[in-house]
């Protein structure tokens, strides 16, 4: 060892250095080991189950907590039908929002609902005067089985909640034509699914 390094802490050890004699003489996997390992089970703990594709978005009505968000707002509703299962449509909707860099807020598979957080358009600082104004919007997408159709027809309702920044506060407004980008991305993701 170099004399300049003699006072430095040791950085490398041999593989058996620091073990006592009994640990060196017995193999870690030997039957003489007194250590008892817990048994691994493959059963789910606490009765939890993963949502199955056939259980996604059962009701035509939007679940209550999302209906209260829409109550009294000036939401714009667009609806389209798809010849896909609710599971495939739900998955494509989540993937579409993520690929569009929408800030996904809630993914509720049992209710068939995917929501985004607020997406802001316009200039960056609402405290500065703006020529074009400031708007923001969020999506509530509801996927469910179409009760009036065959077993493999699902619907995607997209609610757009819009707000405009006026007089120092956000007020509700109707913002239209904001769903085309989302529907286009959903169609792209559905086309990628194996048939």
> What residue ranges define each of the domains in the chain, with the CATH number in brackets?
54-191 (3.30.530.50)
Tell me what pLDDT residue 194 has.
Answer: 81
Tell me what pLDDT residue 96 has.
Answer: 95
| 55 vs 144: CA distance, rounded Å | 10
Question: Measured on CA atoms in the order 100, 105, 108, 112, is the torsion positive or negative?
Answer: negative
| 30 vs 61: CA distance, rounded Å | 62
Tell me what pLDDT residue 107 has.
Answer: 92
Tell me what pLDDT residue 62 has.
Answer: 83
| 168 vs 161: CA distance, rounded Å | 19
Tell me what pLDDT residue 80 has.
Answer: 92
Tell me what pLDDT residue 138 has.
Answer: 93
| 169 vs 127: CA distance, rounded Å | 10
Terminal-residue alpha carbon distance, the chain: 67
pLDDT tens series, the chain, 195 aa: 555 556 666 666 666 666 665 555 554 444 455 666 656 555 544 444 445 555 666 667 888 888 888 888 888 889 999 988 888 999 999 999 999 999 999 999 888 999 999 988 665 555 555 555 678 899 999 999 877 766 678 899 999 999 888 887 888 888 878 899 999 999 999 999 886
The two counts, helices (H) then strands (E), for the chain are 4, 7
Tell me what pLDDT residue 178 has.
Answer: 86
**Distances, alpha carbon 111 to alpha carbons 18, 87, 99, 120, in Å:** 57, 12, 22, 26
């Amino acid at each position: 060892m170099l004399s300049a390094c003699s006072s430095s802490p040791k950085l490398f050890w041999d593989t058996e250095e620091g073990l006592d004699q009994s640990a060196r003489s017995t193999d870690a996997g030997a039957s003489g080991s007194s250590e008892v390992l817990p048994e691994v089970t493959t059963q789910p703990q606490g009765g939890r189950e993963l949502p199955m594709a056939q259980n996604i978005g059962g009701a035509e009505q939007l679940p209550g907590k999302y209906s209260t968000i829409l109550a009294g707002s000036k939401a714009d509703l667009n609806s389209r039908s798809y010849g896909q299962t609710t599971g495939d449509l739900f998955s494509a909707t989540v993937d579409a929002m993520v690929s569009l860099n929408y800030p996904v807020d809630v993914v509720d598979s049992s209710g068939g609902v995917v929501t985004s957080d607020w997406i802001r358009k316009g200039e960056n600082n609402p405290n500065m005067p703006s020529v074009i104004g400031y708007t923001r919007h969020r999506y509530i997408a509801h996927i469910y089985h179409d009760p009036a159709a065959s077993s493999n027809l699902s619907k995607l309702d997209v609610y757009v909640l819009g707000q405009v920044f006026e007089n120092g506060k956000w007020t509700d407004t109707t913002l239209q034509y904001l769903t085309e980008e989302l529907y286009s991305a959903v169609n792209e993701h559905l086309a990628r699914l194996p048939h």
